[in-house]
Amino acid sequence: MTPPSDPRWRWPHAEPGAVTWWRRALQWFGKDLIFRWILLPLTGGCSIYGAENLPRTGGAVLASNHVSFADPPWIGACVHRRVYAMAKRELFEAPIFGWIIHSVFAFPVDRSIADHVALRHGIDLVSRGELLLIFPEGGRSPDGEVQKGSIAPAMVAGRVGVPILPVAIVGTDRVLPRGAKFLHHHRTAIAFGEPMTVTPDAAGRLTRAVLDAATTDLMDRIRALRAFLLERLAEEKAPRARPS
């Protein structure tokens, strides 16, 4: 893979063997210990649905709605495999925070352009059997509703021939609202939907029409999963009738 010209875009995982022992240790410490076993319980807990849909091996694209900066670590903490994530380029410009997210398998995408370099890197990772998390809305939803999605998940999955798993997450916008510097207490929930495939046209091509149709289907599935989660959280909050 040709490295990007911008020196701030580092690609430590672009070659096999680049995931060193200390990166695995940092992943365990950050993802498994800090997030899964400490932060998630302390902030109210997280209900997980559809975990059986996650592939145990092989590449796949996880495509999720996006409501908070907490979404990537929350989703990553609920998946028992390494998860690479596309994150906006500006986050990597912070000296300490950028190093941390970079070390736990996030890589930058420039949202101001059609970022073919980031897309090629994502395709390369998935083709080597990794899980790739993409937020097709491109940024955080201003009102929590699922916005229009980009064709990036369909393009990556279609090029490699792997499934897309629609993902929905709710509650993280209350745990880490816009502008907040500290985490708040609020229960969250994540749902992993059934995998879907991107089928080329009769000529075997991934045309724009094919990608648009797959993206529409994907976003509809994410909306349905989000509605399911909101219903479940509402049921959890509803007072239970006392037995007579």
pLDDT score at 92: 73
Instruction: State the distance between the two ends of the chain, measured CA to CA, in whole angstroms.
Output: 68
| Residue 125 forms part of a structural domain | yes
Kindly list the distances between the CA atom of residue 189 and the CA atoms of 35, 45, 113, 192, 226, in Å, as whole numbers in the listed order. 14, 8, 32, 10, 9
159, two tokens = 């090029």
pLDDT score at 39: 82
Residues whose CB is less than 8 angstroms from the CB of residue 26 and which lie 6 or more positions away in sequence, other chains included: 103, 104
The C-alpha angle with vertex 133 and arms to 127 and 136, in degrees rounded to 5, equals 110
pLDDT score at 57: 94
| Residue 36 forms part of a structural domain | yes
| Residue 48 forms part of a structural domain | yes
pLDDT score at 108: 77
Number of folded domains that form the chain? 1
Residues whose CB is less than 8 angstroms from the CB of residue 156 and which lie 6 or more positions away in sequence, other chains included: 61, 119, 122, 123, 126, 132, 134
| Residue 158 forms part of a structural domain | yes
| Residue 205 forms part of a structural domain | yes
The one-digit pLDDT tens for each residue of the chain (244 residues) are 444 444 434 444 545 555 566 666 666 666 666 777 788 888 999 999 999 999 999 999 999 999 998 898 899 889 988 899 887 777 777 766 666 666 667 777 777 677 777 888 889 889 999 999 999 998 899 999 999 999 999 999 999 999 999 999 999 999 999 988 889 999 999 999 999 999 999 998 999 999 999 999 999 999 999 999 999 988 887 776 666 5
Which structural domain, as residue segments, surrounds residue 44? 21-237
Which domain CATH number covers 202? Answer: 3.40.1130.10
| Residue 7 forms part of a structural domain | no
Residues whose CB is less than 8 angstroms from the CB of residue 76 and which lie 6 or more positions away in sequence, other chains included: 31, 35, 83, 85, 104, 133
| Residue 202 forms part of a structural domain | yes
| Residue 5 forms part of a structural domain | no
